[in-house]
Amino acid sequence: MSDHNQHAVAHYRNNFLREVEDRVEDGEWVKMCMQCGVCAGSCPFGPHWEHSPQKIFMMIRAGKREEVLASDSMWMCTSCYNCIVRCPRKLPITHIMHGLAHYAHRLGVAPKGQPTREVARLFWNNLARSGRVNELRFSLAMYFKDGFVQGIKNSLAMQGIGIGLMKAKRLNPMEILGGHKCRDKDGIHKMIAKAREIEERKQGFTS
Amino acid sequence: MTKKQYAFYPGCSSQKGASASNFATSIEVMCEKLGIQLNEIPDWNCCSASIGYGDGGLLPRLVLNARNLALAEQHLPGQDMVSGCPACWLSTRETAEKLHESGSLMAEANEALKEAGLSFKGTVRARHIVEVLVEDVGFAGMKQPVVKPLEGMKIAGYVGCQTNRPFGIAGESFENPQYLDKMIETVGAEPASGYEQKVTCCGGALAFSEPDKSQKQIRDIVESAYDHGAEMIVTPCQLCQANVEIYQSEINKKQGTKFAMPVVYYSQLLTVAYGGSLKQAGLDGHVIQPEKLQQIAVRQK
């Protein structure tokens, strides 16, 4: 268990709902859920979730901390916002799912090797580096995330698509050398570091 | 004619050589004909898209978007900020609204922005190009420059998710928005009526991490377009366009289908209808060739 996770457990004891309200994006909305299930029925990846948003909300209230944070359900969110616009109580469900996923990731208790968690991490690293996304490097990082041999296999499997996109001038092999970037990337790095520092202080990760 | 001025946020996928570079090309003639001037925001950065949440956290994501808003406010004062990418628009608008509603978030965002030598007052409105077309130009205005009606084409209007939810285009329903069908009619083509996959999710960023689940979504979207007699899909979304076009070959390989349904942007329809060339419409940027539209583009009137 990570230090951050231990501190959180010690601080909130058995009150997981309060922990979510304090530390998770839009967490204060969780108690408004009336368990109607419209979110569960509206999710495009609904059949693939172990726990629908409706279940997650009830589990939070029931204090099932470990099961919620270790669930891979939040990582199945495609950000389609169907649940948000259909929720009769107007809960920002998509944001809460993102918030829970990020919180579990931050605590180090999110499921290891969860593919969307990996993609999310690689995407953020990619954009934070130069201020803009480098699509070629992002794709390659994804193919090679499980090692070199698997990376070659993945690249070969996706070769047709890559060549098609290059022919259409929608994938530039020269991006490997750096490609597009912001002029003030140093400013962006400092700005992100400051935002992270403020957020961590606010959420009690640092004093 | 004095042009309407907007602060333009192209977004990463619209850069040269990126996955939606043909979208960026295709809006030039369209904007020219409609009297829209897009002024690129200097040194804009990534919005962190819908997948940035995993590692990003709320404030870092808000701050990335606040930087673009602050740059627009400083360099292009008084202009609405306009994006062509739904993810960019959604992130920017969400940021503008969240900072507007919360004084403490605004203060925190400004504390971080200071590190990049910027500050944000909160005066910029974040809009989508489709809003500019529908609200500022109007359908009658969009029809005026049409010199080559796309007669005889039947097109499935695939709106997708993020142009439609959670904000959407004012006055439209989330379940069955009409503006894209109206645009198809405006350029003289026929919308595939009853196309029930209009607002279905293509899997978004999870097309990378959960390919099988996403390709099931894409299969539904393409299959329904065929079922409704469409010869092409049109969309306002960069990720929808890429996912739905690119993965058809994968679906064919795995499932024995024979999909070859072209997927284009609304801006490509307008540009061709306004007399733009194949190149100006970005129609040289496809993996599945939209042949009929290409033929109209090269035809003399």
Same domain (yes/no): B154, B37: no
Residue of B nearest to A175 (CA): B17
Contacts of B22 (CB under 8 A, 6+ apart): A168, A169, A170, B265, B268, B282, B283, B284, B285, B286
Query: In this structure, what are the phi and psi dihedrals at residue B83, rounded to the nearest 5 degrees?
Result: -125, 150
Higher pLDDT, A153 or B121: B121
Helix-then-strand count for chain A, H and E:
12, 0
Which of B129, B160, B186 terminates a domain? The answer is B129
* Domain contains B248: yes
Same domain (yes/no): B164, B272: yes
Answer yes or no: do B15 and A132 touch at CB < 8 A: yes
Measured between beta carbons, which residues in chain B are less than 8 angstroms from residue A132? Answer: 12, 15, 45-46
Q: Which two tokens stand for residue B279?
A: 């190149």
* Domain contains B140: no
How many CB pairs below 8 Å do chains A and B form together?
215
Measured between beta carbons, which residues in chain B are less than 8 angstroms from residue A85? Answer: 165-166, 168, 174
Tell me the H-state helices in B167-290: 179-186, 206-209, 211-227, 238-246, 248-255, 266-273
Measured between beta carbons, which residues in chain A are less than 8 angstroms from residue B201? Answer: 44, 78, 80, 82
As a whole number, the mean pLDDT across chain A is: 93
Mean pLDDT of the region A55-76: 97
Same domain (yes/no): B193, B51: no
Same domain (yes/no): B107, B163: no
Residue B301 clears pLDDT 80, i.e. is over it = no
Cis ω for the linkage preceding B166 (within 30 of 0): yes
Residue B1 clears pLDDT 80, i.e. is over it = no
The answer to whether residue B173 neighbours chain A at the CB level (below 8 Å) is no
Number of domains in chain B: 2
Which of B101, B129, B157 terminates a domain? The answer is B129
Domains of chain A, earliest start first: 3-111 (1.10.1060.10), 115-197 (no CATH)
CB B184 within 8 A of CB B156: no
Q: Which two tokens stand for residue B168?
A: 């959407």
Residue of A nearest to B248 (CA): A161
Q: What is the DSSP letter of B137?
A: I
Same domain (yes/no): B87, B197: no
CATH of the domain at B267: 3.40.50.11810
CATH of the domain at B29: 1.20.1050.140
* Domain contains B138: no
* Domain contains B190: yes
Q: Which two tokens stand for residue A183?
A: 């002029």
Mean pLDDT of the region B226-245: 98
Which of B129, B155, B179 terminates a domain? The answer is B129
Q: Give the whole-angstrom CA distance, residue B244 versus residue B290.
A: 14
Residue of A nearest to B45 (CA): A131
Interior angle at CA B235, CA B240 and CA B157, nearest 5: 125
Same domain (yes/no): B113, B167: no
Q: Of the candidates B82, B59, B85, B86, which has an alpha carbon nearest to the alpha carbon of residue B69?
A: B82
Higher pLDDT, A166 or A188: A188
Give B230 to chain A, closest Cα distance, Å.
23
* Domain contains B155: yes
Mean pLDDT of the region B205-215: 95
The answer to whether residue A119 neighbours chain B at the CB level (below 8 Å) is yes
Structure confidence at residue B72 (pLDDT)? 98
Same domain (yes/no): B121, B180: no
Which one of A84, A168, A202 has the shortest CB-CB distance to B287? A168
Residue of A nearest to B168 (CA): A85
The answer to whether residue B220 neighbours chain A at the CB level (below 8 Å) is no
Contacts of A191 (CB under 8 A, 6+ apart): B63, B67, B112, B113, B115, B116
Structure confidence at residue B296 (pLDDT)? 97
The answer to whether residue B12 neighbours chain A at the CB level (below 8 Å) is yes
Residue A89 clears pLDDT 80, i.e. is over it = yes
* Domain contains B201: yes
Measured between beta carbons, which residues in chain B are less than 8 angstroms from residue A127? Answer: 12, 45-46, 48-49, 52
Same domain (yes/no): B288, B152: yes
Structure confidence at residue A207 (pLDDT)? 63
Q: Which two tokens stand for residue B170?
A: 């004012």
Residue B233's pLDDT band (cuts 50, 70, 90) = very high
Q: How far is CA B301 from CA B30, B271, B272, in A?
A: 17, 13, 10
Same domain (yes/no): B189, B61: no
Tokens 């359900």, residue located? A73
Residue B37 clears pLDDT 60, i.e. is over it = yes
CB A83 within 8 A of CB A38: yes
C-alpha B157, offset from chain centre: 13
The answer to whether residue B67 neighbours chain A at the CB level (below 8 Å) is yes
Answer yes or no: do B165 and A170 touch at CB < 8 A: no
Q: Which of A121, A124, A126 to mutate to test the interface with B (most CBs of B within 10 A)?
A: A124
Contacts of B49 (CB under 8 A, 6+ apart): A123, A127, A133, B87, B88, B91, B205
CB B26 within 8 A of CB B58: no
Same domain (yes/no): B172, B284: yes
Interior angle at CA A83, CA A41 and CA A57, nearest 5: 85
Q: Of the candidates B73, B71, B72, B53, which has an alpha carbon nearest to the alpha carbon of residue B61?
A: B53
Residue B266 clears pLDDT 70, i.e. is over it = yes
* Domain contains B73: yes
Which one of A81, A127, A169 has the shortest CB-CB distance to B161? A81
Residue A141 clears pLDDT 70, i.e. is over it = yes
Same domain (yes/no): B111, B247: no
ipTM for the assembly: 0.95
| Residue B211 domain boundaries | 146-298
Measured between beta carbons, which residues in chain A are less than 8 angstroms from residue B242? Answer: 170
DSSP character string of A118-132: HHHHHHHHHHHHHSS
Query: In this structure, what are the phi and psi dihedrals at residue B134, rounded to the nearest 5 degrees?
Result: -75, -45
Same domain (yes/no): B158, B276: yes
Q: Which of B58, B215, B279 to mutate to test the interface with A (most CBs of A within 10 A)?
A: B58
DSSP character string of B55-75: HH-HHHHHHHHHHHHHHHHHH
* Domain contains B141: no
